[in-house]
Amino acid sequence: MQLLITGCAGFIGARTTQLALDAGHLVVGLDNLNDYYDVRLKHHRLEPLLKSPGFQFVELDIEDGTGLDRIFTAHRFDAVINLAARAGVRASITDPHVYMRTNTVASLNLLERMVKHGISKFVIASTSSLYAGQPLPFTEDANVTRPISPYAATKLAAEALSYVWHHLHGIDVSVVRYFTVYGPAGRPDMAPFRFSEWIRRGQPITLYGDGTATRDFTYIDDIARGTLVALKPLGYEIINLGGGNTPMSIKGMIQSLEQHLGKAAIIDFQPAIAADMQDTAAEISKAKALLNWQPSTPPADGFRLTAEWHAREFEMLDWIKLR
């Protein structure tokens, strides 16, 4: 297949692109290389991709409709995987407008051009943050119409727009809701990356809350693999991609990283933030039934691989500013 993958220099985007190339697909990757976090990390992820003859990189913001027109005119895509997003609950409270532009309006830009150019398959990344206040484990049919952060609200809006374009124009849509993705070359605003670096550097961890909150951590390779198998025709489906109702506490994550990094954490406890969820747990029976997907990397292995990457890439990581 010839795929358009947006956000290809991002954490999930880069790994999904690599697995797509490994599977023999041709990929045009878009990324605006914005400075939400250190661009050196994005170039680090891009470096191996650029060595593949099946990959073409274009620096472009998907908010740029004219630029998208050029891309869609120059290529005949079989499917679009939209992984470009502004992520992060706390940052969305500070600047909700950029989240609306990137997560919602830019998704609409892609859908409009898919109709114009006859592209029928759309995979779009969404978030477990939509499930705030719902009973555990989270199921795809839960009522998620009351998000508690601008980030979640913009993702919900993108899901709704995708359904409208499915209904009106027959676009085949897979919405994949991710659960706390972690692994090598992660995002510096996410706890697994920040905590790994703070422990490695011997600096205090800023921990909001008492550490008893739990997350259904999902290793990056499992997420990328699930995103690609979601390319199959489904009509319109929302599918959880998560650890499979095996949550770990934040304290447990810290202890695992301490073990694998060989250093003790220094913890600076801060009050919990209202927009943060207390617990997450994914019900993944739908992913198993529709995609034959389930995670294969348990946290014990995933956090070891994460810690090993941080220890190995210390020369680059010493310069990365933590958010």
Give the structural domain span for 279.
2-317
Q: Is 37 inside a domain boundary?
A: yes
**The domain that contains 166 carries what CATH number?**
3.40.50.720
Residue 106 and residue 85: Cα distance in Å, rounded? 9
214-256 pLDDT tens trace? 999 999 999 999 999 999 999 999 999 999 768 999 999 999 9
d(CA 130, CA 237): 16
pLDDT level of residue 16 (50, 70, 90 thresholds): very high
Q: What is residue 84's three-state secondary structure?
A: coil
Average pLDDT (270-295) is: 94
pLDDT of residue 86: 92
Would you call 178 a catalytic residue per the annotation? no
Which pLDDT band holds residue 322 (cuts at 50, 70, 90)?
A: confident
How many domains is the chain built from? 1
- Are the CB atoms for 81 and 16 separated by under 8 Å? yes
Q: What angle do CA 233, 240, 65 make, to 5 degrees?
A: 60
Q: What whole-number distance in Å separates Cα of residue 146 and Cα of residue 152?
A: 9
What's the pLDDT tens digit per position in 74-131? 999 999 999 999 988 888 999 999 999 999 999 999 999 999 999 999 999 999 999 9
pLDDT of the residue at 90: 85
Q: What is the pLDDT of residue 286?
A: 98
Q: What is the pLDDT of residue 88?
A: 84
| Each residue's pLDDT tens digit, 152-175 | 999 999 999 999 999 999 999 999
CA distance 131 to 127: 8
Q: What is the pLDDT of residue 277?
A: 86
Residue 24 tokens, joined: 């023999």
Catalytic residue among 36, 37, 151, 219: 151
Residue 323 lies in a domain: no
pLDDT, tens digit, 9 for 90 and up, residues 286-317: 999 999 999 999 999 999 999 999 999 999 99
User: Between the CA atoms of 94, 220, 114 and 287, what dihedral angle is there, to the nearest 10 degrees?
Assistant: -110
| Residue 322: inside a domain | no
Helices and strands (DSSP H and E) totals, the chain:
13, 13
Q: What is the pLDDT of residue 246?
A: 80
pLDDT 10s digits, 20-47: 999 999 999 999 999 999 999 999 999 9
What is the helix (H) or strand (E) element at residue 161, kind and residue range?
helix 150-169
